[in-house]
Amino acid sequence: MPEIRALASVQDHVLLGHGEVVNSYRSLLLRALLRERSFRIGALIIGFVTAGALLAPVVAWLLGHGVTEQFRDTALTEMGLPTGPTFEFPLGADGNGRDVLVRTLYGARVSLAIAIPATTLAMIIGTAIGLVSGFLAGRVDRVISQAVDVALSFPFIVTALSLLSLNRGVDGKPFVAPSLVVVLIITLFSWTYFARLTRGLVFVLRRSPLVEAAQTIGASKARIIMREILPNIAPVILVYWAVQLPTNIIAEATLSFLGVGVQAPQPSWGNMIAEAQRSSLYQLQPWFLLGPGIALFLTVAGFNTLSAGLRNVLDPHRRSG
């Protein structure tokens, strides 16, 4: 693919500090991205999911169904069982007579509102630690790397369950909003990946001509890190943000499914699926399970595809496919 090869050489120029090619680099990048099929498909799916999240109140208003509103007369049969898809309830109802479509759309908001801050926070913390570790090298680096290795060896679910158990009073009520704790726990488990990635990138760059040049003119360490190294590794880290995000979306759904994440009646795809399972009503009204499940699948698959496309374009050494 000629455009990728061209991009690689341009990337080298940027790495060497030839600022004047940056503008053409950007337009070249955009063109290469739009030519990449996985990027287009991923962007389309993400656009669709984001639109769903943003338009949730509009859909709720159009259907006249609030997100926690129960319609026991219209959405439940005489036996108290939820109805399947109807004109009024496009994805049917759940066990409490609530609209599955409206709740699924609001679930997208919750999912993104937890995963995006958590991933961003992890990126900031991990990048900062990775920069220090990679740039200072030596003893500091060995200590940090060991700490990262140890942190990585904790199994996520088991440890997260134990951490979340701290946030529960004697009466069973949480001290801090569970959503906030979920954000912090996901951050705690994903900064390590950013730290490792950043450290590796900085290790290569700290011996490069652009850093040596900065050292020659007497730039301080802080300046070299912030002005020379960070701008050069930022694109790779941002791509990794998109790689990590779907993992964190699943993490939130998993914790909510286990009942320690987002709490009812606030809808989250995880706690909706848990409710479907607990009541076994999904066996009668499959959309109770399919609604949140497909939404979760689409979101995760969309971000995975998008990040695969980004990597294909930005990393010329990687084989596409």
Provide the binding-site residues for another protein, judged by CB under 8 A.
146, 149-150, 152-158, 161-163, 165-166, 168-170, 175, 246, 250, 253-254, 257-258, 273, 276-277, 282-283, 286, 289, 293, 296-297, 300-301, 304-305, 319, 321
- What the block records as the tokens of 22 is 């940056």
| Smallest separation, CB 110 to another protein (Å) | 15
Burial of 102 (0-12, 13-18, 19+ CB in 10 A): buried
| Smallest separation, CB 160 to another protein (Å) | 8
**CB of 65 or CB of 103, closer to another protein:** 103
| Smallest separation, CB 203 to another protein (Å) | 18
CA 51 to each of CA 34, 106, 107, 173, 283: distance values in angstroms, whole numbers, following the listed order: 20, 11, 13, 34, 30
**CB of 61 or CB of 297, closer to another protein:** 297
| Smallest separation, CB 230 to another protein (Å) | 28
**CB of 9 or CB of 146, closer to another protein:** 146
Q: Report the distance separating Cα 49 and Cα 45, nearest Å.
A: 6
- What the block records as the tokens of 192 is 């390590």
- What the block records as the tokens of 193 is 């990946």
| Smallest separation, CB 17 to another protein (Å) | 30
Q: Report the distance separating Cα 112 and Cα 37, nearest Å.
A: 24
**CB of 16 or CB of 152, closer to another protein:** 152
Cis peptide before 90 (omega within 30 of 0): no
**CB of 114 or CB of 296, closer to another protein:** 296
Torsions phi, psi of 39, nearest 5?
A: -65, -45
- Among residues 133, 153, 135, 155, the alpha carbon closest in space to that of 145 is found at 133
